[in-house]
Structure 1
Amino acid sequence: MKVLNLCLSLTANSTVLSTSLTFEQQYQKIYKKLIAFLYQNPTAKFSFSFTGLQLEWFEKAHPEFLQILHELVARKQIEILGGGYYNPVFPLLSPVDRAGQIELLTVELRRITGKRPRGISVLSSVWDRSLIPCFQNCGMEWVQLDSSIIPEKSRHFLPQILGEQGKTIKVLPVYRNLQNVIKKNISPEQYLKELVDKIEKSTKNDEYNYYAQERVISVNFEFDSAEILLSGNWIENLYKSINQEFAEKIRVCLPTEYIHRAEEFIPSFTGIGIRDDVAKWALKPYEISGEKSELPVSINNFLITYPRCRALYNRELYISLLVSNCHGDKARKMAARKSLWKAQTGDAVLCSPKGVFPDKKMRQAAYKNLTEAEKYIREAVPFKESVTSFDYNADGHNEYLCSMEKYTACISARGGQITELNVIHNLENYADNLSRIEKFDKVNDNYERGLFVEHVFSKEEFSDYKKGLPSGCGVFSKALFREAEFNGTKKEIKLKGEGTYSNLDIPISLRKRYLINSNGFMVQYILKNEGPIAFSGNFVVESNFAQTDFSNADKNSYKLDLISDGNGISYETVDEPVVKKDISFVQITDTSSNISFVYEPNEEAGISCQPLLFKRPDLNSETPQIAENTFTVSLFWEFDLAGGMEIEKTINFTIITPKKRRTKKI
C-alpha cells in the first residue's frame, strides 16, 4: 500500500421531536466549531449528512451557516451526502416513498449548496438489496454503510460494488473507531500510526495487493465523540499530523472524489443488515443479545421483537397504500404524502446504539402525522364509512379495519380486541400500549393490551387481577377468534373464541359481536359453558387507554365519572386501584384533549380501574425506570353457569369529541 485515502464524516442526528434548543446546542458545540476550522484551513476536507429538519432549522436560525456550506462545497472542500428528508428506515418504505424522500432532500441540498449529492447515507446502516435500483434511479452513485454489515472476507479497505436487477451501486464502508481514542486518550499521531500499521498488515498479502496501490478508509464521527474531540483540539491536531508526519502516506479526500478515481471495486453480496451496535438489541426485548445469529440481523427482526414498533409500521404501510391509491385533489394528496413522510422517521421504529428506544411520545407523534395524512385523503375524495376485512398486520389472519367518521379502528382476530383506535379529532392512537415484561415489571402480561379484551377468572384470580398482580391470561385474551359472520354493508362482525377454564379443563366459548357505527361500537357477548360441569367465576371486559400527556411518565391524564346505583361519582384523577359495583354508566375523559369514552352496559356491572406502569432499562440508572403507563378500565360480572348454559352481556361504547366553538361575527 503506497497511499491510504482517509475520508472523514459526521452523521446527522435529529428527530421530528427535536427542539430548537437541541438544534442550537448541536450547532454551538459541534457544527459551528467544525465549520469554522474547515473555513480557516482550505486543505482540510470533510463530509456531512443532514436531515431535512436540520436544514430547515439552519435556514431560520443560522442562515450564515448555510452560506458557508455553499462556499465550502464550491471550494471542493466538503461534500454533503444525500438521504431521506425525515431520516427514514428505507427498507420499510414503498419505492415511491423512498424516491420521494430522497428527491425532497436532494432538491433542498441543491438549492442550498448549488450541487446535488452523489452519495447517500442511511440511518443505522439499515440495508436491503432492494434499495439498489431506487438509489441508482435517484442519481446516487455510492452508499455509505457501516463496516460491520460488510462480509468479513470482503473487508479489504477498498470500495465494494453491489448489484440488483441489473443495477449497481458502489459501497464505501465506514468505520467507527474513535471511541477508543477517547477512552484511552490516544493522540492523533498515535491514532494515525496504528491505523496505517493495521491496514498495511491486513492487506499485505491479500489478493488485491498487486492491483490496488491505494486503499481507503472512511471514519465516521458521531455526535458524542465529535463534541469531545473538538473541545480538545484533537481534530485540528489530526489534520496537522496528516500534513506533516504522514504527508506521504495519508491523503485526506472526499468520498465521491475517491470513488471517481478508484480503479478497483470488490464485487460483494450484502443482502440485509443493520450496524452491529443496533443489531445487538434486535433479538431480545430491551436486552443486548449475547448470542450470535447465524443469519444477518434485519429490520424485520427488530419489528418482531418490539410489537409496538411493528404496529406503527403496519399503520404506515396502510396509509402509504391509501395515499398511493388516491386519485382526487392533487394538492391534498401531496399534503397527505408529506404528513406520511414525517411519520416515517426512523427514530419512531428503531432504537439508538446505546439502547434508547422509541417512547410513547415519539410513536404518538408518528401516529398523529399518519392520521393527519388520512384526514387529507378523506378531504381529497368523497369519504364513505366502511368496514373491511384483510390481513392488516401480515400475521396470516384477517383483521377488520373500521374507517368511520370519528375514528379508525383495527379489530384483531387474536383476542378479538381493538388493537388500534385512532381518533380523528386529536389524531391520537388510544390503543398504543406496552405490555408488562417480568424482568422489568415483575409480571408477564402475555397478551396485547388493547380495548375490549376479555377474561374469565376464578374468584382468587380476579382478586389478584384487581390489584394488578399476575392472574393468568383469562382464557380469551390470547385466544384466536374465528370469524362466524362478517357483513361489511351492515358493519357487523361476529367472532367466536374457544378455550378451557380451570384445572378441570372445562370447555367454554365466547361469541363476540361488533356492530360498528359513526360514534363507536356496540359489543355483544355470549359466554357459554360447553361442558357438563357447572362452574362460577367473573367475566371481565378490559380496555387500556394510552396516555396522551407526556409531561410525566407516571402521570394518569384521565378523569373518571361513574353512575353507581343511581348516584354519580367523579374522580378527577385515578392514582390507585378503584373498584365499584352496580355501575350503569362509565365516562373516561382524556383531560389533555377533552375527548370522552362512554361505556353503557345493558346490565349493571362492576368496575375495576387503575393506572398500570411499565418499567424499562434506563441509560441513567442501573435499575429499570418507569417509561410509560396506561389507564386500565375493566367492567366485570359475576356468574354461575350450569352445563350447556350461557349468559349474554352487551356494552355500548361511544366516543364523544368536544364541539367546535363558534366565534361571534363582529
Structure 2
Amino acid sequence: MDKVHFLFGVHNHQPIGNFDFVFEKAYTQAYLPFLEAMERHPRLRWNLHATGILWEWLEAHHPDYIDRVARQVDEERVEILTGGYYEPILSALPDRDKAGQIQKLTHYIQKRFNTTPRGLWLAERVWEPHLAKVLHDNRVEYTLVDDSHFLMTGMNEDQLEGAFITEEQGCGVRLLPIRKALRYAIPFRDPGETLTLLRKYVTPFGYRALTMFDDGEKFGLWPETFDHVYRDGWLERFLTVLDSNADWIHCSRISDYLAHSPPHGRVYLPTASYYEMGEWTLPSESQETLAHLLRAHPHDAETAKRFLHGGFWRNFLTKYEESNNLHKKMLWVSKKVHQIASQLVSETQRPSGRAQKMLDALWAGQCNCAYWHGVFGGLYLPHLRQAIYRQLIEAENLADKAVKVEEMKVSYKDFDLDGQKEVLVESPPQNLYFKPHEGGSLFEWDVRSQGINLSNVLTRRPEGYHKQLAEFQQRGGHAETGGVKTIHDRVRVKEPDLEKRLFTDWYRRASLLDHFLHRDTALDDFYRCQYGEQGDFVKSNYTVEASRDKRSELRFSRVGNVWMGDQRNGLLVEKTISWGPPIGWKVTYRIKNVEGPSCEVWFGSEMNFAFSSQDSQDPNTHKALEAWRRRDHGFGLTLQVRFDQPMDCWDFPLETISLSEEGFERTYQGTVLLAHQMLGLAPGQSETRSWTVEVTPP
C-alpha cells in the first residue's frame, strides 16, 4: 500500500518573567490535556520540544508530567528535541552563548530522559546560514524551519517534504520544512483537510514526509481554542483519524524517519523566519506597501509571497530602539561575564559554581520574547522587558562581585553600536547610561540591588496593525464572522475607544530631555505629543565633559536655537549631573541667553520612570512643587524628586496601544514627569535650576 510519513510535533514555551498563573493556565489548558490525548493513542509517534524555562517550572510544580513524558520516551513513542535552554534567537547571540545555551538543554534532556537529542528546535525559526556550523559543532543533526525559507530559493511547494541538507564551511545539518498549510489547518480546520494534503505525497515506498511542528499553546491556550480543541473534541477526532489511517499514514519520530530516508539534496537558505515575522520586522509604512503589492495579485498572492517578503529578525533592532538597547545590554554583559567566568574554572576545567550562576543569569536574559514584537505582546509587555533586565543586571552583579569591583567607573563606548559614543557610569549601587548625541539624555538607569532598569519605558510608535483597529471601529466594533481562527486572522479589542488613545511620539522617551514649549501648549497637547516645540535641543548633539575632583560629575552642554515667532535666540543649555546618595542623581541646569534680545522662554525637563504599575489614569498638573514622589510596592522602592526651588510639574501615564494574542490592548509603560517653568532672560543673563532624584525603600 502507498504510504507517507507525518512528522507531528509541538513546541511548548513560556518566557522568563511571565506570571506564574499564566504558566499554570498553559499547563492546565494546553500542555496536560495534549499529553493525555497522546497517551490515549499509543500507536502514534510524535515529537516534543519544551524550553528549559518550562522544564524547570514543571519540575517544581508538576514533576508527574515530566515522568509521564519520560515513560513515552522509554517506550520510543516521543522524541525530545534540544534547543537554546532559555529560548534565545540563536543567531543574535555571541557564539560562546549559542553553544552554552544548546549544551545546557542537551545536558538536561540526557540526564532527565536518558536520551541524547538529535534535533534542535530553532526559536521562532529564525535562520541564518552561519547556524549550520554552530549546530554541527554542538552535535545537532537536524532542525526545522518554515516552508517559506525554501520557497525563497525558488523551490516549488510540492518539493517541500522530507529533509534537505545544508552546510557552512563543510559542516552539514539537515533541514526539514514545516508546512504552512498544516500550521494553519491544525487545529483550526476539519481533520479531513490534513488527510487530503497527506494523500498527495503517498508513494509505494513511503519515503516522503510532511512536517507540522508548531506552538503547543495553540492547543488550548490561544483564545477560544480550549473549547474547540478539547470540549468540542477536535484533537480527539484528529488523532482518531490518524490512528484509523495508520495503514498509510506513518506518524513518526523525526529521527526514525531520517534514519531510513536520505536527504533530497543540498539547499542553501537565506536569512528568514516564518512569513509573518518578515512582515512584523518592517516599519509600518513598509508593511502597508508590502500588503498593497500582495493585494495587487489577489489570484496568486501565495505565489507572490515567494518573491515578495519582509525583512528578517535583526530588523527589530533598528525598528525599536528599546529592543536594540536590550540586545546591546546583553552583549555588554556577555563580554563582561565571559571574561570573568573564564578565570573561575573548576579542576575539571568546567565553570565553577559561581561562574555557572552568572552564566545562567546571562543566558536567562537572552530569552527572545521581550526583544521583538509581532502578534504576541513581546516587547510591548513591560514585565517581560524588566525580567530580562533583572537577569542581565544579576549576571553583571555576580561578575563584578567575583572580582570585587567597588569603584565607580565612567567610560565612553559605542554601547548601542550606532557609530557614536555613549557615556556609561557604572558603580555597585547603580548604572547610568547617557546619550550625548540625543539631547544628552539618560536612557538607562539600573538600580542594581533591585535588578530594575527605571528607564525601561517604551516609545509610542505607529504600527502596521493600527489600521486594523480603525477598520474594526468603522465596522461598529464588530469582528468579522467565522469559526475559530488563528491568532494571525483574529481582531479583538479589549476595551472601547482605544483608537482615541492612539498617539505617536516623535522622539525616544528618556530622561533629561530639554524642551522649550510654545506658549499655547496645554497639558493634553504634551500628553498626546502634539504640541509646539520652539527649541532644537531634544534630539540634538550635546558636548560632554567629565570631572573627577571631590565629586565626580558629567557636564552636558549645547548652544541651540529657540524661536518665538520671528524672533530667534541662541541659548546655552548646560546640565551638570552628579550621582548618589547612594542610589540617585542630581542635575543642575544653567540656561543662558547667549544671542539675541531679551526673551521669555518656557523651559521643561522631561523624565520618564518605569514603575511596576500606574497610580493615575489621567494627566495631572502640579503647581509650585517642592517634591514629587511615587511609592512602588511592586518594585519595593520609593522614587522622590526634590527641587531646589518650587517647580511646576506635569505627569501622566505613558501608554501604548498594541496587539497581542488576546487582541488590541492598552499597556502602561511608565510615567512621564515634566518639570517646567517660565524663564525671563535678558541678553547674557542665565538662570539656574536643580533637583535631586533619589531611590529609597518604600
Q: TM-score, normalised by structure 2?
A: 0.80
Give the equivalent residue in structure 2 for 1:649: 688
Letter in 1 for 2:621: V
Q: 1:592, 1:369 → 2: CA distance?
A: 17
**SS of 1:459 mapped into structure 2:** coil
Q: Which runs of 5+ in 1 are unaligned?
A: 201-208, 557-573, 660-666
Aligned-residue RMSD, C-alpha: 3.4
Distance 1:165-1:596 versus aligned 2 partners, 3 A rule: same
Give the equivalent residue in structure 2 for 1:569: none
Post-superposition offset of 1:238: 4.4
| 2:53 pairs with 1:35 | no
Report Cα offsets for 1:388-410 as digits up to 9, x if no partner. Answer: 11111111111111112321111
CA contact (8 A) 1:158 1:266 kept: no
Distance 1:298-1:505 versus aligned 2 partners, 3 A rule: farther
Post-superposition offset of 1:111: 1.2
Post-superposition offset of 1:50: 0.6
How do 1:269-348 residues align onto structure 2 when only pairs under 5 Å count?
A: 269-284=268-283, 289=288, 291=290, 297-326=311-340, 330-348=352-370
Distance 1:229-1:652 versus aligned 2 partners, 3 A rule: closer
Q: 1:619, 1:594 → 2: CA distance?
A: 28
Letter in 2 for 1:410: Y
Give the equivalent residue in structure 2 for 1:494: 555
Give the equivalent residue in structure 2 for 1:191: 194
Distance 1:238-1:492 versus aligned 2 partners, 3 A rule: same
Distance 1:478-1:147 versus aligned 2 partners, 3 A rule: farther
Give the equivalent residue in structure 2 for 1:595: 637
Of stretches 237-246 and 632-641 in structure 1, the one that deviates more from structure 2 is 237-246
Report Cα offsets for 1:217-257 as digits up to 9, x if no partner. Answer: 11125335434445555555545545655724x33221122
Q: 1:279, 1:362 → 2: CA distance?
A: 22
CA contact (8 A) 2:652 2:672 kept: yes
Q: 2:186, 2:143 → 1: CA distance?
A: 28
**SS of 1:461 mapped into structure 2:** coil
Letter in 2 for 1:493: L
Give the equivalent residue in structure 1 for 2:212: 219
CA contact (8 A) 1:609 1:631 kept: no
Of stretches 64-73 and 361-370 in structure 1, the one that deviates more from structure 2 is 64-73
Residue number among 385, 391, 395 corresponding to 2:414 in the alignment? 391
Give the equivalent residue in structure 1 for 2:519: 459
Give the equivalent residue in structure 2 for 1:579: 622
CA contact (8 A) 2:376 2:659 kept: no
Q: 2:188, 2:30 → 1: CA distance?
A: 22
Give the equivalent residue in structure 2 for 1:565: none
Residue number among 148, 166, 171 corresponding to 2:170 in the alignment? 166
Give the equivalent residue in structure 1 for 2:452: 428
Distance 1:239-1:123 versus aligned 2 partners, 3 A rule: same
Report Cα offsets for 1:392-431 as digits up to 9, x if no partner. Answer: 1111111111112321111012111100111123221111
Q: 1:19, 1:587 → 2: CA distance?
A: 28
Post-superposition offset of 1:36: 3.9
**SS of 2:692 mapped into structure 1:** strand
How do 1:470-485 residues align onto structure 2 when only pairs under 5 Å count?
A: 470-473=530-533, 475-476=535-536, 478-485=538-545
CA contact (8 A) 1:585 1:599 kept: yes
**SS of 1:521 mapped into structure 2:** strand
Letter in 2 for 1:595: L
Give the equivalent residue in structure 2 for 1:537: 601
Of stretches 277-286 and 391-400 in structure 1, the one that deviates more from structure 2 is 277-286
Report Cα offsets for 1:195-223 as digits up to 9, x if no partner. Answer: 323x57xxxxxxxx99x973221112533
Post-superposition offset of 1:49: 0.4
Of stretches 76-85 and 432-441 in structure 1, the one that deviates more from structure 2 is 432-441
Distance 1:597-1:363 versus aligned 2 partners, 3 A rule: same
Report Cα offsets for 1:345-391 as digits up to 9, x if no partner. Answer: 11111335456654011111111122222221221112121111111
Give the equivalent residue in structure 1 for 2:127: 127
Give the equivalent residue in structure 1 for 2:90: 90
Q: 1:395, 1:376 → 2: CA distance?
A: 28
Distance 1:465-1:547 versus aligned 2 partners, 3 A rule: same
Give the equivalent residue in structure 2 for 1:564: none
How do 1:107-126 residues align onto structure 2 when only pairs under 5 Å count?
A: 107-126=107-126
Distance 1:170-1:428 versus aligned 2 partners, 3 A rule: same
**SS of 1:135 mapped into structure 2:** helix
Q: 2:569, 2:173 → 1: CA distance?
A: 60
Give the equivalent residue in structure 2 for 1:16: 16
| 2:383 pairs with 1:361 | yes
Report Cα offsets for 1:71-123 as digits up to 9, x if no partner. Answer: 32233221011111111121222112221111111111111111011100122
**SS of 2:262 mapped into structure 1:** coil
CA contact (8 A) 1:506 1:530 kept: no
Give the equivalent residue in structure 2 for 1:404: 427
Letter in 2 for 1:523: V
Of stretches 166-175 and 589-598 in structure 1, the one that deviates more from structure 2 is 589-598
Percent sequence identity over aligned pairs: 20
Give the equivalent residue in structure 2 for 1:203: none
Q: 2:539, 2:213 → 1: CA distance?
A: 49
**SS of 1:84 mapped into structure 2:** coil
**SS of 2:539 mapped into structure 1:** coil
**SS of 1:318 mapped into structure 2:** helix
**SS of 2:79 mapped into structure 1:** strand
Residue number among 173, 177, 181 corresponding to 1:177 in the alignment? 181
Q: Which runs of 5+ in 2 are unaligned?
A: 221-227, 292-306, 345-351, 467-498
Distance 1:325-1:432 versus aligned 2 partners, 3 A rule: same
Letter in 2 for 1:480: S
Residue number among 404, 425, 428 corresponding to 1:382 in the alignment? 404
CA contact (8 A) 2:126 2:272 kept: yes
